[in-house]
Every structure is written in C-alpha cells, then in structure tokens.
Chains A and B, each alone.
Chain A
Amino acid sequence: MDRRRFLAGTAVLALLPFDRAAATPDAMAEAIRKVVGGAVVREERVKLDMPPLIENGNTVPLTVSVESPMTDGDYVKAIHVFNEKNPQPNVLSAKLSPRTGRAVVGTRIKLGDSQKIVAIAETSDGKFWSASADVIVTLAACLEEST
C-alpha cells in the first residue's frame, strides 16, 4: 500500500465514529418542536444552572429550576433538556406533578463539545417556558475509553 492510500485510509477511519447523525442546532430545533408543537416559548421562569467552563465533559452538573407554586391548579408538568452537539439532541424529559412540590431537577450529563443547552418547562396551563446556557467544554465526553 502506498503512503498516500494509507493516509487516506486512516483519515477515513478517524472520521468514522463522528460520521453518525450528530445533533445540530437544526436537530435540536426539531426535537424542541416535537415537544412544544407550535406553542410560543417564553424565556422566563426557568433557571438552568451549569458551570460555564467545563473541564471534563463526562460529568457536567446540571440543575433546572422553574418558578411555580406547584399547586393542583398551577404546576409544572414537564421539564425537558436539549443540546446542540451531542450525537442526539435529547438529554432528558422529567415528568412532575403537584406531588413533586418543587419544580427542580438535578443530574449530571455528558457533553461532546462546547455548545448551547436549552431547558424547556411545560406548565399545567399548557404554556412553555425556557432558559438556555452556553458552555465551553475543554475535554469532551466519549472520546476516550472509560476506565
């Protein structure tokens, strides 16, 4: 095998794992549209807590809190989180009820790149609310074999 062909081959190999359908801003918009339909999403009431600079994309703390009295007549029924650049746009969907008491969800997520994260909350009156965060990731998740 000559050098040129060898190099071309390794280049293709190197690209393979990333050649899969990755979430893009478009894919995220589509995933959000699936959840909200045609409803207006207001950038209010939702707080998305994440560190702005992330050293390790494998475990990124994330907390979504929504202002809501969480009573039988007025509560948050769902919280969704989306991302732009992981392989898939959906991160999580939580189902809440007045029994939840406080519209707060915390977890840890993986991020494959610096990107925008969007949290969307649906209240019991069918309205949608959102918040977003731009984060910088210095070591991306999923590139190394886990130990």
Chain B
Amino acid sequence: MANILVNAPKTAKRGDVVEIKALIMHPMETGFRPGPNGQIIPRNIIEHFTATWNDAEIFAIEMSPAISANPFISFFAVATESGKIRLRWTGDQGFAVEEQVAITVE
C-alpha cells in the first residue's frame, strides 16, 4: 500500500473554490536511467491521476517520466455539496491506488 498524503479542507461554504493537494510515494522511474549493473531500469511511473467529487470528475492529469518521484499535485475544485473527494492514481506495472477524503459543504 502506497503512502498517501491528502490536504483538503474538511468544511467549505457552498460555491467556495477549495485547494486540494495530494502527495503519493512512488519512485517515478523514468526508464531512461541505467542501474548499478549498467542495464536500463525499466520504466515505472504513474500515468494518470483523477479526482472526483461524489463521482463527478473535477480534475485529471496525465503524467510523464518528467514528473518528480513521489508526485505532488495541487489543484482546485468548486465546493458543490457534502460528500467524498476520491483521488485515483494508476500507472505502469499495474499500479492502481485510491484514496478518499470527506468534505462537508454548508
């Protein structure tokens, strides 16, 4: 299980624009580097990240090997209704991890 840090407000006023920050532990191995034995280390990156708010997509990003190890993403979303913000990372070698945070909208 990957280590994930999500920073999002627990409460917001309806219509507010809130910032969501997400950090996940991942090597983001580029596939361009030789390892200690001189062989290229196979590529292992997170390719997609999507964020949904009660199942409606609010943000998505396609990553490349140029994204740093332990990818950090910050983005914004309109607080529409109380519920769950679900974050999903998928990538090479079958990587698929999900995390969700609850938010109360008044």
A interface residues, Cβ below 8 angstroms from B: 13, 16-17, 20, 58-60, 63, 83, 86-88, 90-102, 104-111, 141-142, 145-146
Contact = CB atoms under 8 A, between A and B. Distances in A.
A99 B67 contact: no
B56 to A, nearest CB: 6
A102 B76 contact: yes
B72 A107 contact: yes
A98 B63 contact: no
Contact of B74 (A91, A96, A107, A110): A107
A55 to B, nearest CB: 14
B11 to A, nearest CB: 16
Contacts of A110: 28, 30, 65-68
A83 B30 CA distance: 15
Top 9 nearest A-B pairs by Cβ distance?
Answer: A101-B17, A106-B74, A102-B76, A101-B78, A108-B68, A95-B60, A94-B61, A91-B66, A93-B62
Contacts of B59: 94-97, 99-100
25 contacts: A17-B33, A20-B32, A83-B66, A86-B66, A87-B32, A87-B65, A91-B64, A91-B66, A92-B64, A94-B59, A95-B57, A95-B59, A96-B59, A99-B56, A99-B58, A100-B59, A100-B77, A100-B78, A101-B18, A105-B75, A106-B72, A109-B67, A111-B66, A145-B35, A146-B27
Given A99-B57, A100-B77, A105-B73, 9 more contacts: A17-B32, A17-B34, A87-B65, A93-B61, A99-B59, A100-B78, A104-B75, A109-B66, A110-B28
Contact of A99 (B21, B30, B68, B80): B80
Interface residues of B, number: 37
Contact of A92 (B32, B62, B74): B62
Chain A interface, >50% SS class? mixed
Nearest to B73: A107
